Amino acid sequence: MKEYILDTTRDIHGLYPHVHIWGFPIAAYLFLGGLAAGILLFATLYYLKGKADDMPFTVKIAPIFTFIIIMLGLMLLVFDLHHKLYVFKLFMTFRIESPMSWGAWTLVGVSIFSLLWPLSYIDDIEKYLHDRGWRRLDVVTKFIRDLEHNWLIPRFLIISFRKYRTFFAYILLILSIILGIYTGILLSAFNAHPLWNNPILGPLFLTSGISTGSAFVMWLSNNKKERRLMSNIDMALIAIELFFIIHMVMGLQAGPEAFKLAGSLFLGGPFTVTFWILFVGFGLILPFVLEAFELKGYHIPPALPALLVLIGGFLFRIIMVQAGQVSEYPFIH
């Protein structure tokens, strides 16, 4: 079967030949959504494994940040919208075929649970922060307690959450997986862009989000055993992520001409250096090597590989958002 490339002289600024509608806010929103999903996935997973006391930061402390992370992501999303006053319509209906609808309602559920989860551990959180010497964060625990004592959040909800925490942990675990996958499916649903029209984006973004979640724990936890476990997990996640990336590029090169052109953006095109050197090199391979050295007994500051993974995850979203808008199905006259 022969392939024909069509060309046209049409030129519509911001729309054709290249769409430029998404910028930094959307990339940041996708990153923050994946980060929150990763943090909550580990919190619920290790709670269900009975490791809440052995991994206090992972299960009890890290989820404090998820509500703030999600709210910041939503603010960026609303900021990027052209018709900001109509954002409420996303929550007035549910369309099962719409990734945006799935994402909106998943964010509602995750936001509620990410607020109730720290409330259910408020005493443990306060003790942990005092033991760490983080007394400046007393303002955070005071705020959380005020939510409960002033009935800004109905007390029966908190009591019920504590009583049935295991049940809600299963729900939150599922929601966190959906949220992580959604950040990639949101892009892959745009069939008009060959780079995004790729089924690997869902699992790739989920893996990347979980990796940033493990890096977040490595960065801030003071528990050596906890950090070591997360380092092992992150190395496995980086290996999986590299597999998905290679699979994505090879799939693009094996596809029709439009997909080959999309793949060429990373193979000699304008995103080659940022993708392979900055993201893959410094955001994946270097932290993998540093974590391997640390596990072998070499002194590596835990914050270094963790921050590289977080920066790399953010850079990956920026690259995919920008490159996806450049990729197109070519036309000739």
pLDDT of residue 310: 97
Q: State percent of the chain over pLDDT 90.
A: 52
172 and 138 Cβ atoms separated by less than 8 Å: no
Tell whether the model's pLDDT for residue 256 goes beyond 60: yes
Query: What does the alpha-carbon distance between residue 3 and residue 256 come to, in Å, rounded to a whole number?
Result: 8
Tell me the pLDDT band of 188, cut-offs 50, 70 and 90: confident
pLDDT of residue 217: 96
- Alpha helices per DSSP H over the chain: 24-48, 56, 63-80, 99-119, 122-132, 138-149, 155-163, 165-188, 201-220, 224-253, 257-264, 272, 286-295, 303-326
Question: Where do the domains of the chain lie?
Answer: 24-326
* Sign, Cα dihedral of 153, 155, 158, 160: negative
64 and 101 Cβ atoms separated by less than 8 Å: no
Q: What is the pLDDT of residues 8-31, one digit of tens each?
A: 444 545 444 455 567 788 899 999
Query: What does the alpha-carbon distance between residue 88 and residue 78 come to, in Å, rounded to a whole number?
Result: 10
What integer best gives the mean pLDDT of the chain? 85
Is 73 or 38 the better-scoring residue by pLDDT?
38
Residue 267 phi, psi (nearest 5):
-120, 70
Task: Indicate yes or no: pTM above 0.85.
Answer: yes
Which one of 70-84, 126-140, 164-178 scores highest in mean pLDDT?
164-178
Q: Which residues contact 269 (CB under 8 A, 6 or more apart)?
A: none
Tell whether the model's pLDDT for residue 274 goes beyond 60: yes
User: How many residues comprise the chain?
Assistant: 333
What CATH class does 24-326 carry?
A: mainly alpha
Q: Give me the residues paired with residue 227 across strands.
A: none
When pLDDT is averaged across residues 244-249 and rounded to a whole number, the result is 95
